[in-house]
Amino acid sequence: MRDDLGNTLKLVIFDCDGVLVDSEPIINHAHASVLTACGYSITEQDLVARFCGVSDREMLEIIEREWGRTLPAAYAERVGAVIKAGFRQSLTAIEGVAEVLEALSLPICVASSSTLEQIRAKLQLTGLLQRFGENLFSATMVARGKPAPDLFLHAAQQMAVVPDCCLVIEDSPAGIEAARAAGMTVIGFSGGSHCGRGHGAVLQEHGATLLIEDMRQLANALAKLTQSVVR
C-alpha cells in the first residue's frame, strides 16, 4: 500500500455496517442472544472484539469449529427475524454520513461482508440507497471475505479503478487488513456506537492511514491525503 498516494484518489469504498449505518449493536445483540440460547454463551462485546467486519458465514464456521457442534438448521432464520425487527425499530444512518456522501465529488461504492440483499435493505431503511445506485458489492461475490483483499479488489475492478487510487473507509480490524492487503489507502472510522474506548488505536495498529471518529471529519481527512500528494 502506498501511503504517499503516488496516484490521485479516484474512488471511495465504504464499508456498510458501522460506517454507513449504525447496525452493529443490533446485529451483535441478535447473534449473542440466539447463540447463547443455543448453548454457545457469548456476549455482544465478545462478538465485536472477535468478529467485527467478518462475514456471518465465516464467523459461524469458526464458532462451530471451536464448539465442536453444528448450529441448528433454523439458526439463520431465528437471527434474521431478530435483526429485521431491530432494524425496523431502531436502525439509523451514521450521523452526518448523508451530508458527507452528498458533498463527495469522487465516485463511491459499498463493499460489505453482508449479503447484497442485506446491504440494500439497510441502505433503503436509512435513506442512503439512492446515493450508491447499483454500486454495491458483497463478500458473497468473492471466494474469501475480509481480512482477505478479494472484496475490495473486486469492487475496484467493477468500478474500473486501480487499487492504489482507491480510498477505503472501515471500522473493523479485518476491514483495515483487507484494504491494506489490496494495496489501498484506508481511513479508520471509530464513530459507530459499537466502538468502545481505544477502538481507533486498534484500527491504527492494524494499518489505518488516518483515523476519524466523526464522519463529518472525512472532508478534512481527504484534504490531508491530497496535500500529501502535492508535497
Annotated catalytic residues are 15
Rounded CA gap, 142 and 132, in Å?
20
Which are the contacts of 76, defined by CB distance < 8 A and separation ≥ 6?
56
Evaluate whether 18 touches 199 at the Cβ level (below 8 Å): no
Q: Is the dihedral of CA 157, 158, 162, 163 positive or negative?
A: negative
Evaluate whether 190 touches 171 at the Cβ level (below 8 Å): yes
**What's at 21, amino acid-wise?**
V
At residue 107, the 3 state secondary structure works out as: coil
